[in-house]
Amino acid sequence: MDMPDIEALLEETARKVDARIEKYIPRIFSEGSILFKVLKPDYRIDLNALNRAISEPMWEFLDRGGKRWRPALFLLLYEALGGRSMDDALDFAIIPEVIHNGTLIADDIEDSSEMRRGKPCTYRIYGMDIAINLSQAMYFLPMIVLSDKRDKIPAEVARKLYEVYVQEMTKLSLGQAIDIAWHRGLVPAFLLSEEHYLQMCAYKTGTLARMSAKMAAILAGLDGDAVERFGKFAESIGVAFQIQDDILDITGEEFARGKGGLGMDITEGKITLMVIYTLRRASEEDRGELLRILGMHTRDESLKMRAIGIMRKYGAVEYAKSVASKLIEEGWRGIEGMIPEGEAKRKVKMFAEYLIQRRI
């Protein structure tokens, strides 16, 4: 399996995942929807309201695309660990993906972003109130899978899945809080270290990858330390993925086009690994100028390019790439011996490598 094969796998997974999301959160709610079989209404549901305020904006966002790599990772690991029912696994694989898209809708509000995946952000189309409520709903709605599958999985397995969900969602909120505080300037950037950045990413971007892997491992029959080790591997993928996102934001024309142009992280004042690395090595003049531009939250192209130039001057892009590669290597070493040899194992390794070599 080579890189085009991985891309084909992602496309196929996206189709399957979207179809399975639609099973639980349909494009048009009806009285017969699974949601209302699990959460039985006492009175009369206003289906029109739910369709206008949940289904329509959610599917407008999901239909824009996205890599769907978290459910792909879920399914690859489940297969590699000898999971038996791929069809049931697909139902569970939608959980981290729906949550992920909910976080993007919330992120865009918190960052006052203009564009996401080449279109205006959800809150700009449907309003702040609908977008906020939708993002929160998407944190909980996919867990309806567990209620729907209650007769198919042992109670102890369900308990472990719920525990993973609560732990990882808490970490997600911590990571987002740290990121917001940083780009609002509530914490001086010069006080931050590479370790601070990696922990923020482990909480924020690592969380849903970790949730995917841990849930897949639990469903495949693993327990205890084994589940944690697969979670750590997936976390390393998530953090490396975020570092690659940061790199592409200032180097990838095609990638940045969908977000409104190169350097949107600079506009948002985000403290990335490359910023931290540069601040630790730059001259006093360059350090001051980079901090000044980040603090301006500017959309001025010349100023953004100046900030990018300062980071490039000190080799920050190359350093970030090396950190991402090292994370993947270390994560893989932690679980390599736990996966039986074969094509499924090779797919997992190739998949991890693909995510930090992508261009978009």
Q: CB of 197 within 8 A of CB of 278? A: no
Statement: residue 32 has pLDDT above 60: yes
- What are the pLDDT digits (tens) for 139-176? 999 999 999 998 899 999 999 999 999 999 999 999 99
Domain range holding 245?
Answer: 3-355
Whether residue 224 is contained in a domain is answered as yes
| Closest of 141, 138, 110, 142 to residue 123, by C-alpha | 110
Give the CA distances from residue 28 to residues 44, 255, 321, in Å, rounded to whole numbers and listed in that order. Answer: 17, 32, 43
Read off the pLDDT of each residue in 336-347 and give the average, rounded to a whole number.
92
Number of domains comprising the chain: 1
Instruction: Give tens-digit pLDDT for 290-330.
Output: 999 999 999 999 999 999 999 999 999 999 999 999 999 99
Cα distance between residue 70 and residue 77, in whole Å: 11
- Percent of the chain's residues with pLDDT above 70: 96
- pLDDT tens readout for residues 194-206: 999 999 999 999 9
Residue pair 239/201 in contact (Cβ under 8 Å)? The answer is: yes
Q: What is the CA radius of gyration of the chain?
A: 21
User: Do the domain assignments include residue 273?
Assistant: yes
CB atoms within 10 A of CB 29: 19
Of 64, 67, 11, 91, nearest in space to 238 by CA: 67
Say how many C-beta atoms besides its own lie within 10 A of residue 254's C-beta.
9
Q: Is 328 within a domain?
A: yes
H-only helix segments in 141-223: 144-148, 155-183, 194-204, 206-219
Is residue 159 domain-resident? yes
Residue type, 157: V
- Over 80: is that where the pLDDT of 338 sits? yes
Name the pTM for this structure: 0.92
pLDDT at res. 353: 87
Residue 354's pLDDT is 87
Average pLDDT, the chain: 93
More confident residue, 114 or 217: 217
Amino acid at 205: T
* pLDDT of res. 242: 93
Per-residue pLDDT, averaged over 52-81, amounts to: 96
**Confidence at residue 6, expressed as pLDDT on a 0 to 100 scale:** 87
CATH, residue 77: 1.10.600.10
Closest residue by Cα to residue 54 from 137, 129, 115: 137
Q: What is the pLDDT of residues 219-269, one digit of tens each?
A: 999 999 999 999 999 999 999 999 999 999 999 866 666 666 789 999 989
In tens, the pLDDT along 85-111 reads 888 999 999 999 999 999 999 999 998
- Whether 316 maps to a domain, the answer reads yes
In a domain, 360, yes or no: no
In DSSP notation, 85-153 reads -HHHHHHHHHHHHHHHHHHHHHHHHHTT--EETTEE-HHHHH-HHHHHHHHHHHHHGGGHHHHHTTTTS
**In angstroms, what CA-CA distances link 7 with 4, 69, 347, 355?**
5, 10, 12, 10
